[in-house]
């Protein structure tokens, strides 16, 4: 999944925070909702301008960002 079609950052929209294209819904809002345990269906109901694909793009963006910024712990070796 390429998040680039769904996510934009414009200093004139939400102070430059990344948002879902065509909306003022920030990625932080969607990620916080997921972290609180909201389902994708609940988020779509709360933000009807979003799509399932847009939420998947937010998750892909977060995973990519984490991959770039955080050192990964070593994977345990199976005995």
Binned at pLDDT 50, 70 and 90, residue 79 comes out as very low
Structure tokens at 60: 């892909």
Question: For 3-68, CATH number?
Answer: 1.10.10.10
What does the domain layout of the chain look like in residue ranges?
3-68
What is the C-alpha end-to-end distance of the chain, expressed in Å? 34
- 10-64 pLDDT tens trace: 888 898 889 999 999 999 999 999 999 999 999 999 999 999 999 999 998 888 8
Contact between residue 28 and residue 17 where contact means Cβ atoms under 8 Å apart? yes
pLDDT of residue 57: 93
pLDDT reading at 2 higher than 90:
no
Considering the entire predicted model, what is its pTM? 0.78
């Amino acid at each position: 999944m390429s998040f680039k079609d769904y996510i934009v950052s414009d200093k004139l929209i939400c102070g430059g925070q990344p948002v879902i294209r065509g909306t003022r819904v920030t990625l932080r809002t969607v990620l916080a909702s997921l972290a609180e345990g909201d389902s994708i269906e609940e988020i779509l109901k709360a933000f009807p301008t979003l799509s399932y694909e847009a939420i998947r793009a937010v998750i892909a963006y977060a995973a990519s960002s984490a991959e770039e910024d955080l050192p990964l712990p070593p994977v345990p070796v199976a005995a």
